[in-house]
Amino acid sequence: MLNTLYLLAIPVLLIIYNICGYLLRRPGQKLPYPPGPRSLPIIGSLFDVLTPRTGLDTHWAIYRDIGNTYHSDVLHIDIFGDHTVVLNSAKAAEELLERRSGIYSSRPTMYMANESGLGWNFGTMPYTSWWRLHRRTFQQHFRSDAIAAYHPYIRQATSRLLRSLSGIQSTTMVTQYDDLQAIVRQHAASIILYTTYGITEKEDMDAFIELVNNAAESINATAIHGSFLMDYFPLLRYVPAWFPGAHFKRKAVHWAQSTSELVNKPWNQLRASISSGTAISCFGTKCLQKLNLTLNAADATEDTSDLGMSKAASDTKMEEVIRNCAGTAYMAGADTSVSLILISVLVLSHHPEVQAKAQEELDQVLSSAANSSQLPDFSDRGSLQYVEAIFKEILRMYPGVPLGLPHCSIADDVYEGYFIPKGTTVVGNAWTEPQSGTPSSKHSFNPDPELYAFGFGRRICPGRHLALDTSWLVLACILATCNITRISSDKSKEIDPIADFADGLVAHPQPFKCCIIPRSASAFELMKSGYEVGVRMEA
């Protein structure tokens, strides 16, 4: 009975919602919306977006294909009166999200993410002074020059990754996806936990890796606009979790538990280590130290005026900002670099000729360095142009967060004669670059994929310097020491690196197998010793 009532309520709410939307439409709106699927009464283009074509369809591939159908790089999708504009070209994304960033830097209200307790994650916040305060606090410590201070730890973590890969190699020829994924996850999480909270203890690390793996599911599932009906019907958030059919609410309650633990547990641990005098210098300690210095200084200059409250009240708020930034970094950094490294391994396994050419370059550059038989280091990066080209090409062909986080317009706008109303969700689709060729077919890039894989304008990923340094070093070290091959006896089950990705905010390849084999006995030794032998200091 309750189920029937619930099902009847949905169309009634839809009709009221659409009538309100129609009545509220601005009279001046004469220009057409950008091209897109025909909008049916009430539901709009819902079926064009939802229709599963194969079990492996992803939102970014669907958007790209709809764009091809309508021969337009700017698409308009209307679902239940909610406007989404998808930008399927660098040109359109650059014009709207970069040049007109004054209009397009907000976020749509992410109802399901908020219900899942993600309101503290500043990636989900609209363009307000509260967001600006978070962004400024975060950026100061994740700039390119600030990241260089973490290079010694990134080398250590890369040594651990190589050692684990060499361990797999000694026990079995075939690298199973689960083993590879576990090694890469451990690597990414250890770097972000160290840089953010100064966490180095193995037991702590393991518990926190498990925590972020559970919590990352929430942002992965909720951040693509329209993944949940609640994005179109905010009223659904008032449905109680016990209500029949309200699976989404039960999911949100479950996620809210992990996301709350994620933002609080490592933060409380950092606070405790500061109190006991055992804290390691990291994002959290540096921010808190700066806050204390500012509070104690007579000429305090920390700009908290944005908060619109007294200095005393803003102290507590500032600590909340720092805690939120740390939690956002922890969540954003633990999953994304994993996808980039796994994609790199998968793509390289399909291109032995590219590996051979990169190894030629690496051998040449490393043998001319003062101490031969070394691993590539950050100071070699400028000389490794072919490795750089591979890295950029992988970012271009397989951007790890293809749709980024949704932007939202805060004013009416017109682009190429099309009307984009205020409040439109605007999505830059980075998955539209050609996925043909080999991961080495280019040496110059316009646009630079290092930028476009990381989003746009004022919301561009502020963690990209850490992500790029971390992933580049892994790629260069694996290329220097290993050959990656496909499993020839298992061809029927090979993963097509172009098609087979799981849908969600972060694009993870479907499980695949490969062989990661040391190139020689000395390469095997190097994998086991890592940077511990002959670490070169930064120039």
**Which stretches of the chain bind ligand HEM, using CB under 6 A?**
122-123, 135, 138, 142, 328-329, 332-333, 336-337, 340, 400-401, 404-405, 453-456, 459-463, 466-467, 471
Rg (CA), the chain: 24
Residues sharing a CB contact under 8 Å with residue 232, sequence separation 6 or more, in sequence order: 79, 80, 82, 226
Q: Are 447 and 439 in contact (CB under 8 A)?
A: no
CA atoms within 13 Å, Cβ hemisphere of 375:
30
CA angle centred on 500, ends 495 and 502, rounded to 5°: 130
- The three-state secondary structure class of 380 is helix
Q: How far is the C-alpha of 80 from the C-alpha of 523, rounded, in Å?
A: 58
Residues 282 and 287: their CA atoms lie apart, in Å, by 9
Minimal distance, residue 188 CB to ligand HEM, in Å: 8
Strand duo 514-518 + 482-486: pairing: antiparallel
- Structural contact between residues 512 and 495, judged by C-beta atoms closer than 8 angstroms: yes
**Closest separation between CB of residue 470 and ligand HEM, Å?**
7
Smallest gap from Cβ 287 to ligand HEM, in A, equals 14
Annotated binding residue 461: yes
332 vs 365, beta carbon nearer ligand HEM: 332
For ligand HEM, the closer of residues 386 and 472 by Cβ is 472
Do the strands 425-428 and 82-87 form a parallel or antiparallel pair, or are they unpaired? parallel
Give least dist CB 142 to ligand HEM, A. Answer: 6
Identity of the residue numbered 431: W
Structure tokens at 481: 């020491």
* For ligand HEM, the closer CB: 454 or 524: 454
Q: Which is nearer to ligand HEM, 324 or 483 (CB)?
A: 324
- In whole angstroms, the minimum distance from the beta carbon of 401 to ligand HEM comes to 4
Assess contact for 424 and 85: CB atoms under 8 A. yes
Cβ nearer to ligand HEM, comparing 246 with 451: 451
225 phi-psi bin (left φ>0, alpha ψ -120 to 50, beta other): beta
CA torsion through residues 11, 16, 22, 26, sign: negative
Cα(424)–Cα(44) distance, integer angstroms: 15
| 3-class SS of residue 197 | helix
* Cβ closest to ligand HEM, residue 374 vs residue 471: 471
Q: What is the Cα–Cα distance from 219 to 244, expressed in whole angstroms?
A: 24
Residue closer to ligand HEM, measured from CB, 127 or 531: 127
CB of 330 to ligand HEM, least distance (A): 8
CB of 241 to ligand HEM, least distance (A): 28
Q: Which is nearer to ligand HEM, 329 or 482 (CB)?
A: 329
> Closest distance between ligand HEM and the C-beta of residue 21, in Å?
26
| Alpha carbons 438 and 263: distance in angstroms, whole number | 41
- Which residue ranges make up the annotated binding site? 461
- Which residue ranges make up the annotated binding site for heme? 461
